[in-house]
């Protein structure tokens, strides 16, 4: 055994394998740091290059890249509040508030250190667990996955925001969005309004970018603030190595989160997005002092970042052991290995054991390398936190829009991104937590699918008494009990989160949104009635509780509205105050600007429009010189043409005018 471990190590360290590994790490860092790209895209681009390579070099290139994407994806999550990839979505909750406080360095330091730790942990577990995990994998069928999904949603809804009701509704909105398009079980499209774009359902990338990135960019643009609202001099204890120290202090949490990452990532069907949330939920639930979560608690960064790197090793366990990929990334890797003539199955532990170990070593080396590279480089990244908003907005906007575009290369992606931006703006200002919506979008298809598969496979509800299902049901009970206890405690002490997600109180914003949602859910319920059983069940089951909860939210919003309204002499002065708090005028200007850009793109194409708008934005909003604006715009054109067109072969919109 030790022999083959050492043989594998020398194989990985040999030229050219080690060269490909380093190359892979650099590509992975770039793909993770740019929102909307991600490791799967990397696998697709690199795959054809590996056809002619030897197995170890191919593994070094692909896995070197894939393993570290979840290390660098923390950068946009912390710096911009935009998830670099879905796997670091949970990091936003505390990472971005830390950056706003001027602690970006600390958040990144902690994230990078713990990513390294998690990645190595996951790889070692891959090596150790491969022979042992068969019973675990075989115990998780559709019923167990369904219950796990419910557990995840319960956890996130109960930890975010001032109001559990709004948290739950937010999750239900996410679930309803995933009902759009073809249902898995029958060829019936739902809620598609004869729009081809909607047949496929709405992809999570434009939603995530719209929901989180646009409201933040809007704030940077309209207020022209830097990401760190606190000047550099005022940030003590926010350095990179403070973050590393935080990890050492919270080593137990890091270890537990890595284990969550490995073993949840191992279950087929649960991707990186879910493990991040699961670890975050665990961090909140197990913490004694919960008051800082959502406002910049470093533990909220440590947990998801450990888990999402550890998951990579975990997901490979069933992939290599039984040819059952844990998620899409592993599925593509499996394809790549097959091309190399490596076939999953018991032989990965017998005659091909050196390949298994070279995979383990590649993940270990890649994680350590990326961790150290970024720790050294991170000082420069942190400086971004102190740059003027107007300089950051155009470049971020380009990557956000292109990230959204990559999901299906349709103008619909941009429309969804913009609409979700508006919804995100309303939710942010109206006290509606956004994370449950995002997680529900990840879990929605899994929940509906595993529910229907369970019902079809087992007679009705007999699957509820399967042992693992019962254990998870008990866990859900514990989560509900603990969070109910927590809410009572917070209410008594009145020290609930005051800045975090879902903490704003603004009934004049929230009330119209509540009414809108009520109409949407009533429509959804009625429209679902005409579909066959499999298509109809889930949307209806979602709409029913949503309508009840919304009626309750409506009652609470109205009460708050009249409570606040009393303090003003007339309706007009009240509304004026409200529009001022949310900066409505400037926000509308910002959204119209994006809308105009989309319209012009339709006419003359994106390659011209996007740089054009970037130039005009810098000149008019930022008041920069013509020369500067033109150079900036030219650089953005180069990125669009050189990177997106020539390297990624993006399918552009065909302009209507020519």
Binding site for another protein (CB under 8 A): 40-41, 43-44, 47-48, 51, 137-138, 140-142, 182-189, 192, 196, 199-200, 268-269, 318, 322-325, 328, 331-332, 334-335, 338-339, 341, 343-347, 408-409, 445, 449, 452-453, 456-457, 532-534, 649-651, 654
3 state DSSP class of 142: helix
Cα–Cα distance measured from residue 96 to residue 219, given in angstroms and rounded to the nearest whole number: 14
Least distance CB 183 / another protein (angstroms): 8
Decide if 520 contacts 542 (C-beta within 8 A). no
Q: Phi, psi (5° rounding) for residue 198?
A: -80, -15
State which residue, 184 or 242, has the beta carbon closest to another protein. 184
Mapping DSSP onto H, E and C, the string for 150-197 reads: HHHHHHHHHHCCCCHHHHHHHHHHHHHHHCCEECCCCCCEECCCCCHH
Least distance CB 218 / another protein (angstroms): 30
State which residue, 74 or 454, has the beta carbon closest to another protein. 454
Q: Phi, psi (5° rounding) for residue 61?
A: -70, -50
CA atoms within 13 A on the CB side of 302: 27
* Two structure tokens written together for 449: 């699918």
Least distance CB 339 / another protein (angstroms): 5
582 to 218, 333, 427: CA distances (angstroms)? 11, 46, 11
Of residues 296, 273, 299, the one with CA closest to residue 284: 299
Cα–Cα distance measured from residue 402 to residue 600, given in angstroms and rounded to the nearest whole number: 16
Of residues 551, 456, 457, 434, the one with CA closest to residue 171: 434
* Two structure tokens written together for 413: 């992606």
State which residue, 19 or 335, has the beta carbon closest to another protein. 335
Least distance CB 409 / another protein (angstroms): 6
State which residue, 341 or 467, has the beta carbon closest to another protein. 341
State which residue, 218 or 324, has the beta carbon closest to another protein. 324
State which residue, 47 or 487, has the beta carbon closest to another protein. 47
State which residue, 141 or 149, has the beta carbon closest to another protein. 141
Decide if 73 contacts 85 (C-beta within 8 A). yes
State which residue, 22 or 185, has the beta carbon closest to another protein. 185
* 182 bridge partner residues: 189
Q: What angle do CA 424, 428, 430 make, to 5 degrees?
A: 115
3 state DSSP class of 407: helix
Cα–Cα distance measured from residue 195 to residue 189, given in angstroms and rounded to the nearest whole number: 10
Least distance CB 651 / another protein (angstroms): 5
State which residue, 166 or 190, has the beta carbon closest to another protein. 190
State which residue, 51 or 241, has the beta carbon closest to another protein. 51
> Token match 């990091």: residue?
91
State which residue, 187 or 493, has the beta carbon closest to another protein. 187
Least distance CB 640 / another protein (angstroms): 16
* Two structure tokens written together for 550: 């919304």
Least distance CB 382 / another protein (angstroms): 34
Decide if 84 contacts 32 (C-beta within 8 A). yes
Least distance CB 198 / another protein (angstroms): 10
Least distance CB 619 / another protein (angstroms): 34
Cα–Cα distance measured from residue 583 to residue 354, given in angstroms and rounded to the nearest whole number: 61
Decide if 434 contacts 294 (C-beta within 8 A). no
Least distance CB 41 / another protein (angstroms): 8
Cα–Cα distance measured from residue 188 to residue 639, given in angstroms and rounded to the nearest whole number: 40
State which residue, 264 or 508, has the beta carbon closest to another protein. 264
* 181 bridge partner residues: 190
Least distance CB 445 / another protein (angstroms): 7
Least distance CB 533 / another protein (angstroms): 7
């Amino acid at each position: 055994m030790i022999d083959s471990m050492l043989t594998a190590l020398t194989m990985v360290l040999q030229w050219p394998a080690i060269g490909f590994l380093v190359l892979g790490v650099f590509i992975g860092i770039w793909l993770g740091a740019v929102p909307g790209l991600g490791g799967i895209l990397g696998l697709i681009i690199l795959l054809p290059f590996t056809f002619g390579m030897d197995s170890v070099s191919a593994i070094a290139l692909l896995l070197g890249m894939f393993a570290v994407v979840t290390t660098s994806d923390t950068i946009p999550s912390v710096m911009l509040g935009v998830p670099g990839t879905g796997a670091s979505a949970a990091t936003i909750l505390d990472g971005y508030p830390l950056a706003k406080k001027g602690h970006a360095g600390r958040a990144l330091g902690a994230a990078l250190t713990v990513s390294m730790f998690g990645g190595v942990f996951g790889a070692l577990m891959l090596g150790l667990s491969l022979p042992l995990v068969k019973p675990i994998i075989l115990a998780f069928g559709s019923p167990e996955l369904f219950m796990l999904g419910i557990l995840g949603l319960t956890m996130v809804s109960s930890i975010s925001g001032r109001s559990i009701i709004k948290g739950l509704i937010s999750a239900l909105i996410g679930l309803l969005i995933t009902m759009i398009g073809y249902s898995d079980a029958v060829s019936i499209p739902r809620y598609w309004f004869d729009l081809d774009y909607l047949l496929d359902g709405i992809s999570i990338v434009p939603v995530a970018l719209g929901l989180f990135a646009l409201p933040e960019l809007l704030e940077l643009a309209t207020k022209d603030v830097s990401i760190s609202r606190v000047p550099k001099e005022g940030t003590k204890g926010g350095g990179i190595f403070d973050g590393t120290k935080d990890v050492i202090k919270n080593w137990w949490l890091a270890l537990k989160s890595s284990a969550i990452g490995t073993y949840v990532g191992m279950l087929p069907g649960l991707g990186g997005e879910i493990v991040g949330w699961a670890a975050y939920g665990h961090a909140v639930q197990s913490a004694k002092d919960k008051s800082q979560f959502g406002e910049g608690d470093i533990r909220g960064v440590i947990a998801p970042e450990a888990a999402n790197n550890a998951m990579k090793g975990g997901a490979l366990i069933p992939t290599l052991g039984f040819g059952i990929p844990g998620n899409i990334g592993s599925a593509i890797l499996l394809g790549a290995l097959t091309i190399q003539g490596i076939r999953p199955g018991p032989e990965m532990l017998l005659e091909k054991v050196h390949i298994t170990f070279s995979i383990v070593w590649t993940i270990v080396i890649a994680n350590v390398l990326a961790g150290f590279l970024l720790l050294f480089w991170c000082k420069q990244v942190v400086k971004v936190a102190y740059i003027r908003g107007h300089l950051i907005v155009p470049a971020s906007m380009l990557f956000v829009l292109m990230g959204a575009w990559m999901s299906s290369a349709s103008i619909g992606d941009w429309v969804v991104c913009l609409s979700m931006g508006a919804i995100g703006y309303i939710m942010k200002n109206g006290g509606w937590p956004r994370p449950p919506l995002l997680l529900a979008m990840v879990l929605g298809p899994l929940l509906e699918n595993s529910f229907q598969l369970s019902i079809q496979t087992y007679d009705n509800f007999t699957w509820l008494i399967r042992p693992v299902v019962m254990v998870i049901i008990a866990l859900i009970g514990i989560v509900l009990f603990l969070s109910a206890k927590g809410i009572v405690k917070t209410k008594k002490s009145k020290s609930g989160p005051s800045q975090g997600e879902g903490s704003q109180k603004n009934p004049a914003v929230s009330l119209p949104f509540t009414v809108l949602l009520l109409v949407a859910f009533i429509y959804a319920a009625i429209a679902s009635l005409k579909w066959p059983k499999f298509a109809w069940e889930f949307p209806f089951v979602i709409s029913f509780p949503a309508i009840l909860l919304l009626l309750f939210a409506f009652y609470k919003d109205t009460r708050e509205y009249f409570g606040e309204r009393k303090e003003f002499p007339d309706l007009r002065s009240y509304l004026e105050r409200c529009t001022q708090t949310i900066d409505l005028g400037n926000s509308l200007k910002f959204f119209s600007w994006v809308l105009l850009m989309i319209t012009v793109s339709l006419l003359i194409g994106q390659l011209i429009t996007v740089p054009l708008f970037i130039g005009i934005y810098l000149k008019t909003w930022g008041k920069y010189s013509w020369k500067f604006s033109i150079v900036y715009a030219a650089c953005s054109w180069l990125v669009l043409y050189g990177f997106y067109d020539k390297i990624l072969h993006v399918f552009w919109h065909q302009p209507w005018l020519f």
